[in-house]
Structure 1
């Protein structure tokens, strides 16, 4: 795993106009763009500037007080995401509609407000849906509203905290052994499925071909390498360096790409930090409930994980998601 300074050093490979033009040309030819040469020439500097600007925000967030980190990280994140979009949409931004964030929250927080119960709503237009389409090939989503608790439950690095705070397990580690992923057979009880139904369920969600063998352990053989950004509800734990399976099979966001989970969480936190100053300040000072530890840990995780996931997509996954 690359740590924070190293991942940004890796991004600097893109800070060459000539090499980035070649990279974008390859991207545009993969989507059969008839003007790939022209578009790659015109977009090489905007692409570099998105990455540079994103890095600047994240670098400042690293040294900023916790109280303003969500704003810096959200805007840094949107710059990195726009760079990804530009690799699949050579005319981005083609209109003002795709410049909006594409997400809304409650305008005013109610009394006795709890972050975990708060919701975000997805809009039809804006960066969120545009990125889902252009970066991840998802044109429709099952739900328009997501609670903060449901989103945080899907962050694999928070699974231990989720267990401690709520007494529920949110993930199981997929142990790799002889090119097979091993799970305890108890996963079938958790999912309330037979082995065959479990196989069908995972195949429908991940779009992978999976074979399952039942013995002392449940062994899964998968027909291709697992990707960091593509096979939800299987997600990658950045610090343990393992793939994990979400146990929240009925969650409305269990199949969203993890990058887009972070987008929704950071968007709401950045809005709270800017416009709900009293509640935000009291949370940071009084630590009244489960909101504080989960927000604190999430901000620490997302600062490392989003640059990692974005870099993996740009370098090793961009051409495997077509």
Structure 2
């Protein structure tokens, strides 16, 4: 099979972008070609600007890297919105970040204990609603710990630093789209396992089928929407994971988790200068290796996740 070029390359062609948007609009609008023509160049410019930010972010020192990566991902997500809403931005209400952070860091502040709060209006709730059909609870707080512990590529460093993980990997079965999890891997007592299974069933998308066998759990996951599920996480290497603590996993796909974490770090690096400087130059806590690793992960995985959104797997 010929490997498809990345979205950053394909969408440098306005003709390709126009055809792509037209195909997306056919199911929703009576004149899809006109809609695609109208927003084609905005779409291309969002992609291109996002790529410039991201490329510079990869090269930038840690001190300013979060800001560049955040604006890069934000522009790509705005392009993603145009595939659903050709009139974006129709109002100024969708232009704000849609998240808020604690303005001043308290004494003894730790990044993993910090929180981000959902706002009623802005880009984040609009992305969540339009791209993934998820309505967030205004005012709800999410800890950085719960975001980071549910990223596959963060498991190794978090286990090294804190001797715990947030995800358990699934084994691929012989049938396509079918996975297996040995109950012994969870290392739960019976009542803990029953609670875990109940939460997994309650929080799963209806398309996910979970079967409780004698020594293992069998899970069927449709591949074309794998990246959109809130409960399931997939690594870039193709390993699929379930959360060890389903009640702690954020109710949002991983793509928006990257937006939330990059938002928080960009706010810290812009407005918490003293703490940010101490973090970078004093090597005084576990925050620095966690943040450094996270940025390394996100600068590779954010484009990978966006590419999956634009070109979801069909098989």
* TM-score (norm. length: structure 2): 0.90
Q: Give the conservation status (yes or no) of the 8 Å contact 1:236–1:244.
A: yes
Aligned in 2, Cα 1:126/1:250: closer, same or farther, shift over 3 Å?
same
Superposition pairs for residues 71-110 of structure 1, below 5 Å? 71-110=67-106
Residue equivalent to 2:174: 178
Q: Give the conservation status (yes or no) of the 8 Å contact 1:143–1:252.
A: no
Matched residue count: 309
Provide the rounded CA distance (Å) in 1 between the counterparts of 2:200 and 2:249: 15
Superposition pairs for residues 242-261 of structure 1, below 5 Å? 242-251=239-248, 253=250, 255-261=251-257
Give the SS at the match of 1:131.
Answer: helix
Residue equivalent to 2:32: 36
Structure 2: stretches of 5+ with no match in the other structure: none
Is 2:288 aligned against 1:277? no
Give the SS at the match of 1:67.
Answer: coil
Aligned in 2, Cα 1:116/1:8: closer, same or farther, shift over 3 Å?
farther
Residue equivalent to 1:161: 157
Q: Give the conservation status (yes or no) of the 8 Å contact 1:199–1:211.
A: no
Aligned in 2, Cα 1:221/1:265: closer, same or farther, shift over 3 Å?
closer
The alpha carbon displacement at 1:203 in A equals 6.1
Give the SS at the match of 2:63.
Answer: helix
Q: Give the conservation status (yes or no) of the 8 Å contact 1:188–1:198.
A: no
Aligned in 2, Cα 1:145/1:221: closer, same or farther, shift over 3 Å?
closer
Residue equivalent to 1:3: none
Is 2:131 aligned against 1:131? no
Q: Give the conservation status (yes or no) of the 8 Å contact 1:203–1:209.
A: no
Q: CA RMSD in A?
A: 2.5
Structure 1: stretches of 5+ with no match in the other structure: 1-5
Q: Give the conservation status (yes or no) of the 8 Å contact 1:188–1:194.
A: no
Deviations 1:86-143 (A, max 9, x none): 1101110001110111111112222222212111111110000000011111123487
Is 2:283 aligned against 1:287? yes
Aligned in 2, Cα 1:129/1:142: closer, same or farther, shift over 3 Å?
closer
The alpha carbon displacement at 1:215 in A equals 4.6
Is 2:259 aligned against 1:263? yes
Residue equivalent to 2:230: 232
Q: Give the conservation status (yes or no) of the 8 Å contact 2:153–2:297.
A: yes
Q: Give the conservation status (yes or no) of the 8 Å contact 2:183–2:217.
A: no
Deviations 1:245-273 (A, max 9, x none): 111212151x3111111111111110111
Q: Give the conservation status (yes or no) of the 8 Å contact 1:106–1:120.
A: yes
